[in-house]
Structures are given as structure tokens and as C-alpha cells.
Amino acid sequence: MSHTAHIPSHRKPRRSASKLALRAGVAGGVLGTIAVAGAAGPASAEPVTETIEMPTLGSLGTDLSSAVAASAEASQQEALDQSLEAQEAAALEKAAKEAKKAKAEAERKAEAERAEKARQEAEAKAEAERAAAEARAEAQARAARDSARTQLATTSASSDSGSGSDAGSGSGSGSSDDGGSSAGSSSESTQVSSGTAASIVAFARAQVGDAYVTGGTGPNSWDCSGLVQAAYAAAGIDLPRISYQQSSMGTSVSLSNLQPGDVLYWGSRSGSYHVAIYVGGGKYVGAQNSSTGVVERSLDWDPPSGAVRIL
């Protein structure tokens, strides 16, 4: 083949100058080698008839395209590997942070549980001590009430004996004239009333410290009307069970003219919702509520609406 053989041209868009120079150099080197070989040969040599295949630009372009594609693929693989490594590192860092946070939360919960347990133990201990103190106070109060009741029984017996003696004296005086009989009867009535009021007051005060229970009628728990009914029953006087019925008994008296044993009421006289017993000295005894139980308080602490005298 002649060095002027036609070389096909495969145009590629935007080839770089370095690639074109490389291809031209290869082609020039091949042609130069053929020319030197022809000049050095003998004159009688047979003309070269062998066809030499020269590399074409098309095959070089294919090889270069394959190399570029392989390089791009390698670059993509490397970028992918780096991305995966970055993701793995981020995941590990996130897992470490979450583990640290979980550990801190577990420690916080454990500390809170220990604190709660300590609080519950302290409350249980305080409750046990409070119950023991209440039991001791209740025992002391019970003993005091028992002593007061014993003294009340002794006082009542003495009052009954004195009343009987006075009654006998009144009868003897009455045999002479009606005026003596009337004076004796009046004296007896005054002494009986005085003794009855004292019995009512003593009984009521003996229950101070007892519990308040709705519907309670004793011996250690009361509601307001139950206590009033029991106090009057201790003096031999029957009263209705309900507060508004009790306040409807007897005669109405002014709060400025109270006497021991009078029944105090809150609300209207015929519609009272609470009752208590006036014990003198500006004080009363009543079963107030479940928080206070039976207490002795000043009238100023909870002023009553009115009062009735049943004795």
C-alpha cells in the first residue's frame, strides 16, 4: 500500500489537541518506517506487494472511549465507596450518640426510682409514727373520757341524793301551808335543772376528741345531733334524732342570754343543719366534721344562728 493511502476520518465532537497530536504522531512514525525500508533495499528487489494494515483513528477512538468509560466507572465506584463510608461513619456516630443518650436516660430513671423509693419509705415511716402517735393520743383521751364519765356518774349520784333530800324537806314544809309547798317545789326544780345541765355539759365534754361519723351515735364516734341526743339522754331527757327536730324543741333564747346546756343551731330553727351544746364561758361542744371530730370551741370560731332552751 502506498503512503498516500486514504485514511478514513472519524470525526468526533470536541477532540482535545493532545489526542489529535498523539494520533498524528503514530501515523507519521509508521509512514517514516516504510520510507526508510524502501530506500535501503536493493534496486533489483521485488516491489513490496504485502499490504500493511495501519491503525485507524476509529480503533484508537474506541480504545480511548473504553479507557475513559473505565476511568469514569472507577471514579464513580470510588465516589460510591466514599459515600458508603461516610454514611457508615454517620450511622456509627448517630448510634453512639443515641447509646449515650439512652444510658443517660436510664441513669436518670434509676436515680428517680431510687428517690421515689426513698420518699415512699420516708412517708411510710412518717405515717407509722403518726399512727402510733394518734393511737397513744386516743388511748390517753379514752382514759381521760373514762375518768370523766366515772366522775360524772359519781356527781350525778350525789345530785340525785341531794335532790331527794330537798324534796323531802319541801314536802314537810308544805304540810303547814300552800306557800311552803310552792317554795319547796320551786327549790327542787331549780336544783334538778342545775344538776341536769351539769350532766349534759359533762357528758358532752367527755366526748371531745371522738371521731365524727355521719349517723354516728357513740360511744366513740358521733354526728352533731347524735352527740346532742346522747348528752340529753345521759340526763334522762329524750330528744329527737334529727338536728332540725332538736332545734324545734323548747323555747328560743337570745345568744346574749345563753345558759349551759342550751342547744345551739346553725340555719333556721325549723330547718337547722347543725347543732351543738353550749357549755358556758362563751364556748360550745359539738361534733363538727370528719376533719375535726368532737371539739370544744369558742362561739366566735363559728357563730351559731340561734339557740333553744329545753331544760
C-alpha–C-alpha distance, residues 205 and 295, integer Å: 8
Per-residue pLDDT for 283 more than 90? Answer: yes
Per-residue pLDDT for 277 more than 90? Answer: yes
Give me the half-sphere count of Cα atoms (radius 13 Å) on the Cβ side of residue 143: 5
**pLDDT one-digit tens code per residue, 204-257:** 999 999 999 999 998 999 999 999 999 999 999 999 999 999 999 999 999 999
Q: Which residues pair with 308 in a beta bridge?
A: 252, 263
Q: Is the peptide bond before 42 cis (omega within 30 degrees of 0)?
A: no
Instruction: Please count the other Cβ atoms lying within 10 Å of the Cβ belonging to residue 27.
Output: 17
**pLDDT one-digit tens code per residue, 288-308:** 999 999 999 999 999 999 999
> Letter for the amino acid at 139?
A
| pLDDT band at residue 266 using 50, 70 and 90 as cut-offs | very high
**What would the CATH number be for the domain defined by 129-309?**
3.90.1720.10
| Strand-pair category, 271-280 with 263-268 | antiparallel
The pLDDT score that the predictor gives to residue 57 is 58
Instruction: Please count the other Cβ atoms lying within 10 Å of the Cβ belonging to residue 227.
Output: 26
Per-residue pLDDT for 43 more than 70? Answer: no
**pLDDT one-digit tens code per residue, 142-201:** 565 556 555 555 555 554 444 444 433 333 333 333 333 333 333 333 333 457 899 999
C-alpha–C-alpha distance, residues 224 and 284, integer Å: 12
Q: Element (H or E) spanning 167, and its range?
A: helix 57-174
In percent, the amount of the chain with pLDDT more than 70 equals: 60
The pLDDT score that the predictor gives to residue 230 is 96
Q: Assess contact for 8 and 58: CB atoms under 8 A.
A: yes
53 DSSP 8-state letter: P
The pLDDT score that the predictor gives to residue 14 is 54
Domain ranges of the chain: 129-309
Burial grade of 157 (CB within 10 A; 0-12, 13-18, 19 or more): exposed
